[in-house]
Amino acid sequence: MTLWKKIYFFTLIMFLLLMNLSIYMVFHMTYQKDIRAEENRTQATVRILISTLQHDITITAQNRKSDKALITALLESYEEYYKDNHITLLLYQSGKCLSAASQSKTDKTLFPSEKEQERITLREKDGIQHIFYCGSIPSLGKDTYLLYEQPLYELSYNWNLLWNRYVIMSVTVSIFVAIVLFLILHRLMAPIEALTRGVFRIQQGNYEIPVEVYGKDDIAKLSQEFNKMSAIIQKNQKEIEQESLRKQQFVDNFSHELKSPLTSIYGFAEYVLTCNISEEERMECMNFIMEESKRMLQLSYTLLDMAKLRKKDLIFTEENAARLLNQSILPHKRAIREKNITLNVKCDITHLQGNALLLASAFGNLISNAIHACAPYGEIEINLKAVSSPARQNCILFSCQDNGCGIPKEQIIHVMEPFYRTDKSRSRTLGGTGLGLSLCRSIVEAHHGTLEIQSEFGKGTIASIYLPCKITI
Amino acid sequence: MAKILIVEDDKHINELIKRNLSLLGHNCISCYDGKSALKYLYGEDYDLILLDVMLPEISGFELMRKLDKETVIFVTAKGELEDKLQGLSLGAQDYIVKPFEMLELIARVNVVLHRQHKDSKIFQLGNTRVDLQQHRVTRNGEEVLLTPREFRLLEVLIQNRNIALSREKLLELAWGFDYQGETKTVDVHIQKLRKKLNWETEIKTIQKFGYRLHG
């Protein structure tokens, strides 16, 4: 059973119980008071009656002998009087009833005991409360009693009416309260149920629909915070998924880079071993195996370099800027010439601090990328200068700009990821393994600098390395 | 002897496949990307196309969609189930995942060519002629009688000619996987073939390995 149903039932039962209990007690007490009043009234009345009777008998007896008939005759005159009020007067002597009217059996319990002089009893007959007064009249003789019986019509009638009204009212109020309490509690519990539904939705992985917020109370606040929390969870979930995708992509790319040379090496070795071929062809195949092996070695060196960079602190030396640039460009001179690329080099600084080998490698990588991107007769511009801006204080900037094929906008953020290649076929002819920029970034970061790529697909790319410098030029 | 187009952008692997298939007497043409493949296919008919999936500019699958009624085997590093299903549902005859063994590639190529009825039924070496369909061997016009097992062994040698086959491999291919016997039986049958066909030099013994048919 839910919380609010529990609250509902307990509250309802408590209320009904208390209400009915208190009303009943009030009724009871009032009724008792009424009855007591009746008893007192009856007592007073009958006492007077008895004393009057005794007085009458005494006076009459002075003139005549006491006579049973006389007594009953006297009584009858009173009876007539009281008949209108439905009061019955009966005279008993030694257990026998002297009045002619009564035919019914005598009820001994109505009579007082030895010690009492009178007894008042209440009996219910046919739904009406009857009050009995039985008092002794010693002067009339031994064991003489007067039994006074009055049906309390008014009392009974009033009380029955009251009782009926009470029942009706109680039932009506109970139903009303039951309904109203139900509605109120339901309304109050609605936010909690909304929250429960919200939790359920999150479990299913549905982060889209927020929990409805009712009003401004503490439950509303809880719902708001819950919504914020689920937004955070959703974001984290997405990040985790993306991270997982990235890792998978990395593994796929890496394994491709390994599989390809291995396939060649294995294949050619098998070919040489098992096939009927000339010595010349055998040598040719061995060369292929060497080339592929070198590729794999290169790959592993690059990966090792990247791993090393993460661990060691580099030793920086002061380098001649112009010489460093030359060292960077030299390995690529042939490619530049073969593609008829125009190369413009501008160097505005004399020295810079860093690790010569690594910087040459980093610069060289950017140059190589530019060459690959360019079409024949393309242009590459290399700049090495000092810059200072509010965002970057005292930096040395190495920039390499080409007018080649560029990088599509959505891929620019990924190009520095290890093994990422814009060419989805990972073609050897069009590019390398995809580690170049990744290594470049590692080198730049080891120099406490930043690597930035700006590109427009179809127009060209600008690759910039910012290195913080401590000495002035 | 089939005309085979090899579409693979890795030059070395392309070369490897070309050389192996050439040993079997097939005529192989290499190309390195999708666009040139289309150009080659436009003018001429090929008995078989070996197609890589990861090609620059246009993927193997896209290329497949542009082809019609060509016999294609996919040869690619993309080995996931979805890739295989896609390749096969596009109508390829087979799907081989890199890295693979040459013998496997050759076996699959042979099966596909046989299925398409493009394999050569006759093998001729010197004055010996082997009819693979009718299971007849003639030497100088005269029939040479071979037992079914001997013929099967001969067939295996021919289908993998110029490539060394180990004794175990010969046993597997000619006798089947269930065979529980020793490789000695291979030596015995090779001897018999050599004698019957007078192919002492044609069937070469590869030391500590197996045999190879030169032809």
Q: What is the pLDDT of residues A407-447, one digit of tens each?
A: 888 888 888 888 787 777 777 766 677 788 888 888 888 88
Query: How confident is the model over A127-141, as a mean pLDDT?
Result: 82
Q: Residue A101 pLDDT > 60, yes or no?
A: no
Q: What is the mean pLDDT of chain A?
A: 84
Q: A126: pLDDT confidence band, cut at 50, 70 and 90?
A: confident
pLDDT of A189 reads: 83
A102 versus A34: the higher-pLDDT residue is A34
pTM, to two decimals: 0.57
**Closest Cα of chain A to B145: distance in Å?**
28
Residues near A401 by beta carbon (within 8 Å), at least 6 away in sequence: A370, A380, A381, A382, A383, A460, A461, A462, A463
pLDDT tens by residue, A14-61:
988 998 899 889 989 998 999 899 889 988 988 888 888 778 777 776
Q: Residue B5 pLDDT > 90, yes or no?
A: yes
Q: B18: pLDDT confidence band, cut at 50, 70 and 90?
A: very high
Across A270-296, b (16+ Cβ under 10 Å) vs e yields bbbebbbeeeeeeeebeebbeebeebb
pLDDT of A160 reads: 87
How many C-beta neighbours within 10 Å does residue B34 have?
22
Inter-chain Cβ pairs, chain A and chain B, closer than 8 A: 82
Number of H helices, E strands in chain B: 8, 12
Q: Residue B88 pLDDT > 70, yes or no?
A: yes
Residues of A in contact with B99 (CB under 8 A): 259, 262-263, 266-267
Cβ–Cβ gap A427/B164 under 8 Å: no
Q: Which two tokens stand for residue A67?
A: 């006579």
B142–chain A Cβ distance below 8 A for any pair:
no
A176 versus A146: the higher-pLDDT residue is A176
Q: Could you tell me which of B53, B49, B46 has the C-alpha nearest to residue B85?
A: B53
Q: Which two tokens stand for residue B22?
A: 């050439």
Residues of A in contact with B214 (CB under 8 A): 276
Kindly report which listed range (A89-103, A249-263, B39-53) carries the lowest average pLDDT score: A89-103
Q: To the nearest whole percent, how much of chain B has pLDDT over 70? A: 100
Q: Residue A90 pLDDT > 90, yes or no?
A: no
Q: Is B182 exposed, middle or buried (0-12, 13-18, 19+ CB in 10 A)?
A: exposed
**Closest Cα of chain A to B16: distance in Å?**
7
Q: Could you tell me which of A317, A292, A386 has the C-alpha nearest to residue A347?
A: A386
Q: A311: pLDDT confidence band, cut at 50, 70 and 90?
A: low
A68 versus A255: the higher-pLDDT residue is A255
Q: To the nearest whole percent, how much of chain A has pLDDT over 70? A: 94
Q: What are phi and psi of A342, to 5 degrees?
A: -85, 125
Kindly report which listed range (A199-203, A221-225, B78-82, B171-175) carries the lowest average pLDDT score: B78-82
Q: What angle do CA A131, A136, A142 make, to 5 degrees?
A: 145
Q: Which two tokens stand for residue B177?
A: 């996987």
Q: A472: pLDDT confidence band, cut at 50, 70 and 90?
A: very low
Prediction ipTM score:
0.81
pLDDT of B31 reads: 92
Mutate to test the interface with B, among A255, A264, A286 (most CBs of B within 10 A): A264
Q: B6: pLDDT confidence band, cut at 50, 70 and 90?
A: very high
Residues of B in contact with A281 (CB under 8 A): 19
Q: Residue A77 pLDDT > 80, yes or no?
A: no
**Please, which residues bridge with residue B128 across strands?**
B125, B139
pLDDT of A343 reads: 92
Kindly report which listed range (A93-107, A257-271, A300-314) carries the lowest average pLDDT score: A93-107
pLDDT of A392 reads: 76
A180–chain B Cβ distance below 8 A for any pair:
no
B23–chain A Cβ distance below 8 A for any pair:
yes
CA atoms within a 13 Å half-sphere pointing along the CA-CB vector of A250: 12
A248–chain B Cβ distance below 8 A for any pair:
no
A311 versus A16: the higher-pLDDT residue is A16
